[in-house]
Amino acid sequence: MNIARFALLLDRHGPALARWPESERAAATCLLAASAEARARLEAALALDARLRRDLARPDPASVARLQDGIARRIVRAPMPDRPGPLPRLLALLRPALPAGWGALAAMACCALWLGLSPPRAAPEDPFGPLQTLPLAGDAF
What is the mean pLDDT for each group of 10 consecutive residues in the chain (141 residues)? 93 92 91 94 94 88 95 92 80 74 80 84 70 65 55
Reference 11, options 36, 48, 37; nearest CA is 48
pLDDT of residue 105: 75
Contact yes or no for 19/13 (Cβ under 8 A): yes
pLDDT of residue 48: 93
pLDDT of residue 106: 82
pLDDT of residue 16: 92
15 burial type by CB count under 10 A (0-12 exposed, 13-18 middle, 19+ buried): middle
Contact yes or no for 4/37 (Cβ under 8 A): no
pLDDT of residue 71: 95
Contact yes or no for 108/97 (Cβ under 8 A): no
135 burial type by CB count under 10 A (0-12 exposed, 13-18 middle, 19+ buried): exposed
pLDDT of residue 39: 94
pLDDT of residue 120: 72
